[in-house]
């Protein structure tokens, strides 16, 4: 095997399990609608990362290298979208959602393609854990499966965490501060990716 699977698994778990735009969205959705109603959104978020793993593995980064201005524009547009999501989170209130419609599978599917952290994490996986000369399919499949496994395990945890917090703070003064804190963490995670210079 020319992919360092175990080290990459540890790296992937540390990235998937830490705060970022996707996890903040999952936590906020869980807080608003509960885990059960959020599951289609969770499934979309999990599978959405596959939409960028395979194109990156098959040369999208080479295209980005040839058109850096286009890639930069995409990065900033993605960041703007995540900030817009954060604004919506800030103005939500906790609860089981009432008559509101929980975000579904399609909404979750586009979270990672528009998430700078996901792009950086996947790029770091290919550049840091794949040996030169590894067949493209082998490398991409390994990266895809490891990330899929980490997401299946960890994304529901963030969603359930949001639901548990909602039970504690629903209808209390701390509710507003929680939602603004989640929104602020979402924005901070995007800014860190854009300006921090690291792969997280």
Parts of the chain with a pLDDT under 50:
96-97, 197-200
Structure tokens at 62: 């080479």
Residue ranges covered by each domain of the chain: 5-92+102-194
Residue 50: per-residue pLDDT: 93
Q: Is 19 helix (H, G, I), strand (E, B) or coil?
A: coil
**Neighbouring residues of 198: CB distance < 8 A, sequence distance ≥ 6:** 120, 192
CB atoms within 10 A of CB 81: 17
Q: What's the CA gap between 139 and 45, in Å, rounded?
A: 22
Residue 199: per-residue pLDDT: 36
Q: What count of residues does the chain have?
A: 200
Residue 187: per-residue pLDDT: 72
Structure tokens at 7: 């080290």
Q: What's the CA gap between 168 and 130, in Å, rounded?
A: 44
Residue 41: per-residue pLDDT: 94
Residue 23: per-residue pLDDT: 83
């Amino acid at each position: 095997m020319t992919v360092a699977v175990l080290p990459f698994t540890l790296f992937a778990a540390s990235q998937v399990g830490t705060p970022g735009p996707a996890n903040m969205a999952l936590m906020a959705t869980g807080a608003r609608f509960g885990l059960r109603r959020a599951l289609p959104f969770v499934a979309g978020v999990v599978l959405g990362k596959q939409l960028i793993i395979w194109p990156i593995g098959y040369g999208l980064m080479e295209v980005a290298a040839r058109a850096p201005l286009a890639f930069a524009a995409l990065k900033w547009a993605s960041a703007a979208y995540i900030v817009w999501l954060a604004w919506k989170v800030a103005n939500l209130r906790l609860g089981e959602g009432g008559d509101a419609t929980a975000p579904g599978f399609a909404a979750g599917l586009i979270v990672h393609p528009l998430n700078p952290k996901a792009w950086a994490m996947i790029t770091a996986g290919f550049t840091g854990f794949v040996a030169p000369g590894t067949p493209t399919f082998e490398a991409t499949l390994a990266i895809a499966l490891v990330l899929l496994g980490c997401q299946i395990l960890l994304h529901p945890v963030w969603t359930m965490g949001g639901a548990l917090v909602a039970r504690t703070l629903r209808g209390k003064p701390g509710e507003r501060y929680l939602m603004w804190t989640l929104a602020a963490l979402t924005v901070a995670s995007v800014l860190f990716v854009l300006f921090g210079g690291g792969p997280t």
